[in-house]
Amino acid sequence: MKIVKAEEVHVEEALKLATDEYKSECRQIKQLPEIDVTKQLRELITGLFRNNYGVVAMIEGVMAGYLAFTGPIEGFFGKCTGACSPLGGSAFSGNDRGKLCSKLLAAAMEQLMKEAQVTSFALSRYANDPFVDRSLVLNGFGIRCSDAVMSLNEFKIRETFHGDLTFTELIDDEKRRILDLRYGLVKHLLDSPVFYPTDIRQYMNRFPGEKTRVFAALRADKVIGFLAIQDEGENFISETNSMINICGAFVKEEYRGKHVADDLLSYVCDVCKREGFQYLGVDCETLNPTALRFWGKYFKNYTYSYHRRIDERVIGYEAYLKKEWISHI
């Protein structure tokens, strides 16, 4: 095996590996759209390889796998420099994909560490590749979020649990009625075990001209929960025309455990089906047990995003080691 820097000349070989991986995930997750992703993946891989932070593995002149990152990114999951490999930014073939993943990780991380002092690494992978998953975990990566999908054609609209609730879409300035719930969501993500800080100013300033659509659950004209959707998603699959994506949801704490979220989701699914959408996507922090349990009732995971933060003290340590070692000989 020979590991070399990723170049544009490698794009077509990488594309073949990437499309094969998507087809494999579709065979395992029947809710995924079986669409031609060639164009999206070619553009993605070309951009990544032009970024100069990618490596490919060649075996007897044939590409066996690749791994490429965007970056460097300042303030990436902490006060540090980071890099990210999006879904489609890596692909591994053969019967020893775990070993291949480990070797490409070592090469890519070394390059980013030495050239850009990157200490925070994230990458998104398909959820159903146990060999690569195990390799990432053994290389110090942990899962922090996931993408999931629901086939709206298979979702059965039912009678709501609550006859005293009403559901509606909030338009323009009406969206400001959920500001206190959005604050609650930000606070929820900040608490244990998630510990995820959010720029609250961004949440306050995203109304009313944005493209995000907001649906509310009301009791006696009081908003007690919301669910927001938008066209944009977290990866190239979620941005297909047949899919709409959940980008936020929250129910006031005193109404949890009473199926308010279930009723609101059912209402939104009915709206989306009538508008011709075939798939509903959602991404959530796997660190958030409340969200993970709820979405898991209706959606199937098709990606996991992994993250590793390495000790910043390693920067410059090699030079320090040589100096100290020589001084004590």
3-state secondary structure 265-293: HHHHHHHHHHCCCCEEEEEEECCCHHHHH
55-86 confidence digits (pLDDT tens): 999 999 999 999 999 999 999 998 999 999 99
Contact 148, 193 (CB under 8 A): no
CA 307-309-313 angle, 5° bins: 165
What's residue 312's pLDDT? 86
The residue count of the chain comes to 329
89-133 confidence digits (pLDDT tens): 999 999 899 999 999 999 999 999 999 999 999 999 999 999 999
Mean pLDDT of the region 131-142: 96
**3-class state of residue 155 by DSSP:** coil
Task: Classify strands 279-285 and 243-251 as parallel, antiparallel or unpaired.
Answer: parallel
Q: Nearest CA to 299 among 223, 238, 215?
A: 238
Confidence of residue 319 (pLDDT cuts 50, 70, 90): confident
What's residue 323's pLDDT? 78
Contact 117, 70 (CB under 8 A): no
- Is the pLDDT assigned to residue 197 strictly greater than 90? no
- Is the pLDDT assigned to residue 31 strictly greater than 60? yes
Confidence of residue 161 (pLDDT cuts 50, 70, 90): low
- Is the pLDDT assigned to residue 46 strictly greater than 80? yes
Query: What burial class does residue 76 get, using C-beta atoms within 10 Å of its C-beta: 0-12 exposed, 13-18 middle, 19+ buried?
Result: buried
What's residue 207's pLDDT? 59
Render 217-275 in DSSP notation, one character per residue: EEETTEEEEEEEEES--SSTTTTSTTEEEEEEEEE-GGGTTTTHHHHHHHHHHHHHHHT
pTM of the model: 0.91
Q: Nearest CA to 246 among 219, 215, 218?
A: 215
Alpha carbon 60 to its chain's center: 34
What's residue 105's pLDDT? 98
What's residue 315's pLDDT? 83
Contact 81, 116 (CB under 8 A): yes
Return the higher-pLDDT residue of 175 and 164: 175
- Beta bridge partners, 215, equal 169, 227
289-315 confidence digits (pLDDT tens): 999 999 999 999 999 999 999 988 888
Structure tokens at 177: 């009625």
Contact 247, 295 (CB under 8 A): no
Share of the chain above pLDDT 90, in %: 77
Task: Classify strands 62-68 and 54-59 as parallel, antiparallel or unpaired.
Answer: antiparallel
What's residue 204's pLDDT? 65
- Is the pLDDT assigned to residue 208 strictly greater than 60? no
List, in sequence order, every beta strand (DSSP E) within the chain: 2-5, 54-59, 62-68, 70-74, 81-85, 90-92, 120-126, 142-151, 166-170, 213-219, 222-230, 243-251, 279-285, 300-309
What's residue 196's pLDDT? 85
d(CA 208, CA 224): 20
Mean pLDDT of the region 185-214: 80
What's residue 225's pLDDT? 97
d(CA 255, CA 251): 7
Element (H, E) at 131: helix 130-138
- Is the pLDDT assigned to residue 324 strictly greater than 80? no
What's residue 299's pLDDT? 96
Map out the domains of the chain with their CATH numbers: 2-148+307-320 (3.40.630.30), 156-297 (3.40.630.30)
